[in-house]
Amino acid sequence: MKTNPMDEFSEPTECSNPSTRRDVLKLAIGGLAGMLLPGCSTISGPEMGGTQPKLGFRSIPISSEDVVHVAPGYDWRILYAWGDPVQSSGPEFKSDASNTAEDQFQQAGCHHDGMEFFPIGGSSTHGYLCLNHESFDDGLIHPGGSLPTSQEKAKKGMASCGVSVIEVKRNDRGIWQRLDSPVARRITAMSPMLMAGPAAGHARLQTRVDPQGRTVFGTLGNCAAGRTPWGTYLTCEENFQDFFKLPDEGERVTKAEKRYMADAGLMNHWHEFEDRFDFAKEPNEYNRFGWVVEIDPRQKAPPMKRTALGRFRHENAALTLSKENHVVVYMGDDSKFEYIYKFVSKGVYDPDDHSNIDDLLNVGTLYVAQFLDSRQGKWVELTHGKNGLNKDSGFADQGEVLIHARLAADHVGATTMDRPEWLAVHEQLGEVFVSLTNNSKRGKSGYPATNEANSRKKNIHGHILRWRESGADAAATTFSWSPLILCPDEEADVHFSSPDGMHIDQRGILWVQTDVSSSKLNTKKYERFGNNQVLAVDPVSGDVRRFLTGPVRCEITGLTTTPDGKTLFVNIQHPGQPNGGQTKEPQDVGKYSTWPDGESESARMGRPQCGRPRCATLVIQRKDGGVVG
């Protein structure tokens, strides 16, 4: 084996023509057969067409219509839209959004995002679906807009956020339905949960309401997700800063506090009714968000905020096992010039003995990535007392290292990245992929310069990187990396911008979801991309095809599949989102989109018409019942 197995395929995928680009990708994967992660085999089987995955659908064109389009031979249905009751006895959605806060606690939240399917008894037709509700439009969820403010409106906003756990099943006609379930529930910005791990009880987590620093109410900014080998859901807190009234510019804050306040924009008035959302009144409450939260879909145990995984604007959590069965969690901090992290558990996972499960995400080592210009990389340990992380550098203990993980990463010289979004582990190929959605400030005066891993100034379209851990061991402290796609790949057959969500299915296909911001979609620089979309990427051949396009001004996210690959779930987030993300005036409701209950889609779906756009979970299946893709 070569000292650097990436040397032979380290060139970017932007090439002079599409066939050359695909040749580069083939060469990139060519040496992987002997470098698979433990317990995995090469991709094979009748659905794969031998050892290479194939895309078995025709790429569809871009769309700027306020509808969902999928590839020929596929159907989609709405499974779970904002306001749908979690249990059949719950309140139905009212088209004028006049549901109360109490109603909203029993209904689907807003801004559907990351999602995972948990089979019941190994079934591909029956399971629990866990999905995030990242945020909400405060002017959309109330009949007369967000003003004047009230306690009731604040409570409804809090009930719109968090997580849904629902039980779903495919019936004999192949149609997925929600079931009543003793564990189906909403977890919101008011649900009690526990702090766990090294930072639990830390002085910086103690508040007047919780002087022990171990119990917190709510989870916020739930972006993407992950799943553990033992069947629990990881929901990741990303843009929590927008839920707090933060100090105005010029007001005194510490360096550590300021480091977590960049690009904050107040999106609600909760601080008028609960002091915990006013930084000036309860500054430590702010430190209690920005974590990975573990939820067991099968029981109503309190969620656990796993502090060993560090505090930052978490996008998702991609889990795998090392050669010795240590749990490895890959994570990205979704902000410009932020970092990629990895956690390695001290204990090992034993599928037959769960006695140490609680320790696997509580005890271990957090690392941050350095991407070297040699296309090598290393994981730098973020442990108190190592790499200069001590009292002299501002870290009194491990709790402070974790609570201020961004500052710790700054101190050890981690590589600034172009907004790390989702990470995905390709078990068959022994690689990790990361989507870097964009960074318009890269290389501008006063901002970090380009580096080999983030090589373009004003990187408005983003890119996808991949790496392989040394020795094919996820617990390794060094790796080799290479670009996968530099968007929009001008010479390719299918263009896309701003890669965000990613999922690798059972066949080894990489599904990529895009998130061009609402204010930029279909403008001059972005008109060739149309609305946001789902792409399928064959990482062996380099084939890229457009599978789905969404309605106007939405984000496509949360894609996941059943174990048999015959059902794909995907979320449509914030269709018709106004510039700035909030509806300013009541008359602007439905200004850009009325999906899914507008005239065209209502007629197709047999749904009552409604002028309000609604986030929704889609079910996508092949018409012949085969494997998706």
3-state secondary structure 6-71: CHHHCCCCCCCCHHHHHHHHHHHHHCCCCCCCCCCCCCCCCCCCCCCCCCCCCCCCCCCCCCCEEC
**Using an 8 Å Cβ cutoff, are 240 and 230 in contact?**
no
Whole-number Å distance between alpha carbons of 571 and 513:
10
Q: Smallest Cα–Cα separation from 539: which of 380, 433, 411, 417?
A: 433
Whole-number Å distance between alpha carbons of 235 and 225:
5
- Is 627 within a domain? no
Instruction: Work out the average pLDDT over 476-499.
Output: 95
> 21 CB contacts (<8 Å, ≥6 apart)?
13, 14, 15, 489, 491, 492, 542
Instruction: Work out the average pLDDT over 512-519.
Output: 97
Distance from first CA to last CA of the chain, Å, rounded?
A: 34
Instruction: Work out the average pLDDT over 492-503.
Output: 96
Instruction: Work out the average pLDDT over 453-459.
Output: 97
Q: How many structural domains are present in the chain? A: 1
* pLDDT tens string 596-611: 998 767 767 777 788 8
Amino acid at 65: E
- Is 535 within a domain? yes
Mean pLDDT of the chain, nearest integer: 91
> 604 CB contacts (<8 Å, ≥6 apart)?
none
Q: Which two tokens stand for residue 274?
A: 């609960």
524 vs 21, residue with greater confidence: 524
* pLDDT tens string 257-268: 999 998 899 999
* pLDDT tens string 535-572: 999 998 999 999 999 999 999 999 999 999 999 999 99
- H or E stretch including 264? none
Domain that holds residue 189: 7-73+82-622
- Kindly calculate the radius of gyration of the chain based on its CA atoms and give it in whole angstroms: 23
Question: What's the pLDDT band for 104 if we cut at 50, 70, 90?
Answer: very high
Q: Which two tokens stand for residue 344?
A: 């390695």
Provide the H-helix boundaries in 369-507. Answer: 398-403, 405-412
Instruction: Work out the average pLDDT over 460-468.
Output: 98
Whole-number Å distance between alpha carbons of 114 and 137:
18
* pLDDT tens string 420-435: 999 999 999 999 999 9
CA atoms lying within 13 Å on the CB side of residue 334: 29
Q: Which two tokens stand for residue 561?
A: 């599949």
Whole-number Å distance between alpha carbons of 603 and 240:
38
Q: Which two tokens stand for residue 540?
A: 């062996």
DSSP 355: T
Q: Smallest Cα–Cα separation from 168: which of 105, 83, 232, 86?
A: 86
Give whole-number Cα distances, 466 to 42, 416, 431, in Å. 18, 16, 6
* pLDDT tens string 49-96: 345 568 999 999 999 999 999 999 999 999 999 999 999 999 999 999
The reported pLDDT for the residue numbered 53 is 61
Strand residue runs (E) in 296-446: 304-306, 314-321, 326-333, 336-338, 340-348, 364-371, 376-381, 417-418, 420-426, 431-436
CA atoms lying within 13 Å on the CB side of residue 53: 27
The reported pLDDT for the residue numbered 430 is 97
Give whole-number Cα distances, 547 to 63, 152, 167, 208, 527, in Å. 12, 41, 27, 51, 18
Instruction: Work out the average pLDDT over 489-502.
Output: 93
> 505 CB contacts (<8 Å, ≥6 apart)?
511, 561, 565, 628, 629
Give whole-number Cα distances, 155 to 149, 158, 337, 583, in Å. 11, 5, 34, 18
- Is 102 within a domain? yes
**Using an 8 Å Cβ cutoff, are 348 and 354 in contact?**
no
- Is 366 within a domain? yes
Residue 224 has pLDDT above 70, yes or no: yes
**Using an 8 Å Cβ cutoff, are 212 and 201 in contact?**
yes
Q: Smallest Cα–Cα separation from 221: which of 616, 581, 588?
A: 581
- Is 2 within a domain? no
Residue 35 has pLDDT above 70, yes or no: no
Q: Count CB atoms within 10 A of the CB of residue 299.
A: 9
**Using an 8 Å Cβ cutoff, are 205 and 298 in contact?**
no
Q: Is the peptide bond before 488 cis (omega within 30 degrees of 0)?
A: yes
Pairing relation of β-strands 420-426 and 314-321? unpaired
Q: Which two tokens stand for residue 103?
A: 């109603």
The reported pLDDT for the residue numbered 348 is 98
Residue 493 has pLDDT above 80, yes or no: yes
Strand partners, 364: 345
Residue 41 has pLDDT above 60, yes or no: no
13 vs 168, residue with greater confidence: 168
Q: Helix, strand, or coil here: 237?
A: strand
Instruction: Work out the average pLDDT over 119-140.
Output: 98
Whole-number Å distance between alpha carbons of 28 and 562:
29
Q: Helix, strand, or coil here: 330?
A: strand
- Is 1 within a domain? no
- Is 357 within a domain? yes
- Is 135 within a domain? yes
Work out the percent of the chain whose per-residue pLDDT is above 90.
87
Whole-number Å distance between alpha carbons of 506 and 128:
19
The reported pLDDT for the residue numbered 605 is 74
Q: Which two tokens stand for residue 90?
A: 């719950």
Residue 32 has pLDDT above 70, yes or no: no
Sign of CA dihedral 113, 499, 495, 440: positive
Pairing relation of β-strands 544-549 and 233-237? unpaired
**Using an 8 Å Cβ cutoff, are 599 and 65 in contact?**
no
* pLDDT tens string 297-341: 999 999 999 999 999 999 999 999 999 999 999 999 999 999 999
Q: What is the CATH classification number for the domain harbouring 523?
A: 2.120.10.30
Q: Helix, strand, or coil here: 428?
A: coil
> Is the pTM value of this prediction over 0.85?
yes
Whole-number Å distance between alpha carbons of 348 and 360:
7
What's the length of the chain? 629
